[in-house]
Amino acid sequence: MLELMVVVAILAILAALAGPNMVPVIERWRVRQAAEEMVATIAFARSEAVKRGGNVTVARSTPGASECALPNSAADWRCGWTVSDGAGTALRVTAPLGGVSVTNANASGGSFVLTRWGELTAGGTLTFVVASTRSGSSVRSAVCMGGGGHVRSKAGATTCD
């Protein structure tokens, strides 16, 4: 019985030491997961736009307060997003993401539309910044779509330049 108590005490000490070190790992994982979800969503929207001949929209979601606090601006995408076709039928929905903020750095509004070539109808580029919401954190990643429709992600940055 004494040996078992010693083993449990050693495990408790190790867990107490390892716990705080896991916070940054989990934080980086959440940001990376959200950035990868945004890249996957844009790639999906591009393929659907090519397949359907254009007019595929990606718009930020604004669910009720029970699911996610209502965003303050059109640039705030933390409540998730929806890919829909020209008729308004939802093709893919991304739920609110916990522990991260997603911001449209271009502040071009709460949505963007893709042409039949998988490019932005407005032209130019699109940049989203995915960041941890933990106080004092600097964990972030940029997700960018260029003029030709190429999508890329850059960890630890606010732009893809």
User: Over the stretch 87-123, which tens digit does the pLDDT of each residue have?
Assistant: 888 999 988 888 888 888 876 678 888 888 888 887 7
The structural domains of the chain, with segments of one domain joined by +, span 22-62+73-155
Kindly state the percentage of the chain with pLDDT values over 70: 93
First-to-last C-alpha distance (Å) of the chain: 61
Which CATH code of 3.30.1360.170, 3.40.605.10, 3.55.40.10, 3.30.30.10 fits the domain covering 22-62+73-155? 3.55.40.10
What six digits make up the tokens of 79?
A: 């409540």
Task: Tell me the whole-structure pTM to 2 decimals.
Answer: 0.81
CA–CA gap between residue 77 and residue 63 (Å, rounded): 11
